Amino acid sequence: MVSSSGRMPVERVGFVALIFAAVLYLSGGSGGTGGYASARQLDEVQLSLSGTNGAPFPGHILVTGGAGFIGSHATLRLLEDGYAVTIVDNYSRGNRGAIETLRKLAPRHKLRVVDGDLGVTKDLERAFGKHKVDAVIHFAAIAYVGESVSQPLAYYRNVTVNTVGLLEAMKRHDVRKLVYSSTCATYGNPDVLPITEKTPTVPINPYGKSKLYSEDAIRDYAVANKGKFILILVRAISMTLCFLTLCFLTDFDAAILRYFNVFGSDPRGRLGEFPRPELRAMGRISGACFDAALGNIPELVVMGTDFPTRDGTCVRDYVHVTDLVDAHLAVLGHVANPPVLYNVGTGKGVTVREFVNACKRVTGVDVNVREQRESRPGDYAEVFADVSKIRDELGWEARFTDLETSLGHAWAWRHAHKDGY
């Protein structure tokens, strides 16, 4: 309706403007990243739960934390292997840009994204409720040692409580397979190296403790859902011949992977790691090296120079993210009850000082390094893995074991994406 003067009343103009702004916002035209609109659209995707081009369909995987560094790389690999994937992520630590990249790379109707929080039941219901989920790979967690010391309750809530909530949702939706992303921080400061799966778990910070408590919750849930033997009537070739067979049906199977220090990026340059500016101070050493090389920070601070190690800096086992993803795919078909446990690393320890020198060589930048004697709260001196169990049982071993080659993958992506995704 218009006024007698042929002009729309002011209140009508305001109403139309409001509707127009809302339409622009929901369609990604708000002037921002468009991530929210994309997430809404991906939440509504009708997944295709069938194989493509005549290939068998391997299954539908729910990936928690799929917008994160490791989760996004794992999602890409799952999609490449023919899986349908639902991601649930609240973007508190992940990147919407990674989701946009995955959306562009995903086959049609194979990726669905739920913008949600594992601590919110209705978000979990959205993640599980639309399509039958065959297995869950649980990456989502905050994961900074120093932060866990200053904010322990946040870690127990985000890591342990959210894992319990996820298990409850899996039970409600009859999902019986889980691969859990754990950490070598559960071991603490071991007396004997390398670390095996039988090394005592004595975590020294809330991050390691919260992960270990989550592992315990998974194991206890597995004990309570161990499965049962049942008799099944089987009809043989002859229509008149039948016989009984005893079968064991599992109610819940799981695998726990204890990661060592993850770095690197997709060797083909499609995905990488971009620590948000507000999180840089707590991020991985590789991210800090690149930030210094790019001039985002004035210097690289090495924290802890009086550890009982070969050069005084702490020793870590640096595993390439692609190798880590390969381990998840290897274990996905071998979940069990009781849950299987594997260390995932290279089996070789590298000092922080050695890592920084390698980073300088790869970037070609002689970054300013300041060393401080005091270490980060809750840090441990030396950890590296014995990976013989996962090698012998699953045939997995790290392929990207040359430090500079792996750093080169990460630097190539970061240098090409100075402002992130």
Does the N-terminal peptide bond of residue 338 adopt cis geometry, omega within 30 degrees of 0?
A: yes
Of the listed 207, 221, 342, 380, which one is catalytic? 207
Question: Does the annotation mark 207 as catalytic?
Answer: yes
Backbone angles phi, psi at 344, to 5 degrees: -130, 110
159 residue type, one letter: V
Total residues belonging to the chain: 421
Looking only at the bridges linking them, the beta strands covering 340-344 and 253-259 are parallel
DSSP 52-102: STTPPP--EEEEETTTSHHHHHHHHHHHHTT-EEEEEE--SSS-HHHHHHH
- Among 65, 142, 97, 99, CA closest to 420: 97
d(Cα 143, Cα 92) in Å, to the nearest integer? Answer: 12
- How far, rounded to the nearest angstrom, does the alpha carbon of residue 139 sit from its chain's CA centroid? 4
Task: Tell me the angle at which helices 35-43 and 10-26 cross, rounded to the nearest 10 degrees.
Answer: 70
106 residue type, one letter: A
- DSSP structural state of residue 227: -
Q: Which residues are catalytic?
A: 207
